[in-house]
Copies of this chain bind each other. A is one copy, B any other.
Amino acid sequence: MALESGVVTAPAAVLGKMLKQARGAWTQWQQEAFSKRDAALAKMAARLEQAADELESVNAEEVQAARAAGLPPALLNRLALPAAAVGRLAQGLRALIALPDPLAQGRSLRVLPNGIRLEVVPVPLGVMALIFESRPGVTADAAGLALKSGNAVLLRGGREALKTNRLLARLLRDGLSEAGLPPDLVQLVDSADRAYVDALLHLDGLDLLIPRGGAGLIQRVKREATVPVIETGVGNCHVYVDQGANLDMALAIVRDAKVGNPAVCNAAETVLVHRAVAAEFLPRLEEVLGRHGVTLHAEPNALAYLSEAQAAEETAFESEYLSLDLAVRVVDDLEMAVDHIRQYGTGHSEAIVTNDYAAGLAFQRTVDAAVVYWNASTRFTDGGQFGFGTEVGISTQKLHARGPMGLAALTTDKTLAFGTGQTRDFPPTLD
């Protein structure tokens, strides 16, 4: 489709030009050793604060248009950027200033037997791009993360928030200029045309693409992208209540993991219950979660212990509900729980509740996920909670970064080799 239409070649050309400008700006910055990062963050924050009212009013128009177009309330919420939220974005940029510089600390230093000294140092990836959906605040967050780690960034936000993003990008670029950095380090893909998403997936020369959004976007990127990608944020997380569990603790953990914030990727979507405790646990679970309006989707063995639950639909265990819905299954033993997670899990966060030492160890060893909890809620999988100060996203892939990503995930290694004329196969002097 993209190949047949003459019109659709335009996005690739536009993005190619943006990438060239970003690379040019980045190369200039590289020659200055990525200086002025913190100064620019401060200027960017100040620009946002100064324009908070203007942002609020531009955004209010977009929210109104989206409401008129019939967008559901949850999406309208995510789209909204009141002045107070702008203040939080500015604070987020300033918080980056205080974080350790991800480019400052060398990774290793060795001297080879031949006298060559090898310094392995972190360097920025180069030019990255982010595809995100409704929340316009991501524009500022992502620009700040990219800048702090020495990267240029291309941003593609949601269509509904285009005007808000346009103003945000202008303010951030003004902040860069004011700090003496080239504004093309931050560029917005200024179009609602979906063809730009396609073109980003194939933007040759891009160093990294991070898709932030629902499972549909992530799957599409995984299938189609020819640029380096880090997949983030698809979480079909489980809590397994073992026969050795303290059931009060298990109830508190499941409640937290399901109800605390159902819309996020580290929320639990399925509870697996050992058959030995199902009769005692499940009625109590129904009672506790019922108070919070949670709908249980139970397979027959679980349904037997529940009075208000729905029969689990065929896709219940595959669903990342992101809502007050929870799938429930009774399992024969720990192995069946682990098998279930192997089949349905997305490698994000998994939890066991048990006081049985062997069961906890076995679960942690055999469940293949970024974070495996023993007697704690899955909701802690988060850059802030993990003490990284910020979060680039939560990687659900195994290469480069896994789990909550700090700023280091936006860097790579460079080895600097210092010699005095060393050669490998010939003498170091002429014959």
Contact = CB atoms under 8 A, between A and B. Distances in A.
A27 interface: yes
A39 interface: no
A402 B421 contact: no
B116 A419 contact: no
Given A228-B397, A255-B426, A385-B424, A373 B417 contact: yes
B380 A251 contact: no
A315 B261 CA distance: 57
Nearest to A377: B423
Interface residues of A, number: 77
A55 B371 CA distance: 45
A375 B421 CA distance: 5
Contact of A256 (B373, B397, B425): B425
Contacts of A366: 27, 30-31
Nearest to A208: B399
A113 to B, nearest CB: 8
A386 B110 CA distance: 9
Contacts of A72: none
A50 interface: no
A362 B252 CA distance: 57
A222 interface: yes
A400 B400 contact: yes
A379 B430 contact: no
A415 B371 contact: yes
A252 B430 contact: yes
Contacts of A226: 222-223
A428 B253 CA distance: 7
Contacts of A417: 371-374, 376, 380
A426 B375 CA distance: 15
Interface string A119-149: 0000101100000000000000000000000
A380 B259 CA distance: 56
A112 B386 contact: yes
Contacts of A423: 252-253, 255-257, 260, 376-377, 379
A254 to B, nearest CB: 10
Interface in A212-261: 222-223, 226, 228, 230, 246, 248-249, 251-253, 255-257, 259-261
Contacts of A30: 365-366, 368
Interface in A381-431: 385-387, 397-400, 402-403, 412-430
B403 A372 contact: no
Contacts of A368: 30, 123, 126, 414
A402 B376 contact: no
Interface string A342-362: 100000000000000000001
A247 B390 CA distance: 50
A402 B412 contact: yes
Nearest to A224: B226
Contacts of A249: 421, 428
6 contacts: A123-B368, A223-B226, A253-B423, A364-B416, A377-B422, A399-B412
In order of increasing CB-CB distance, the 7 nearest A-B pairs are: A376-B419, A260-B425, A256-B423, A398-B412, A399-B400, A379-B424, A400-B400
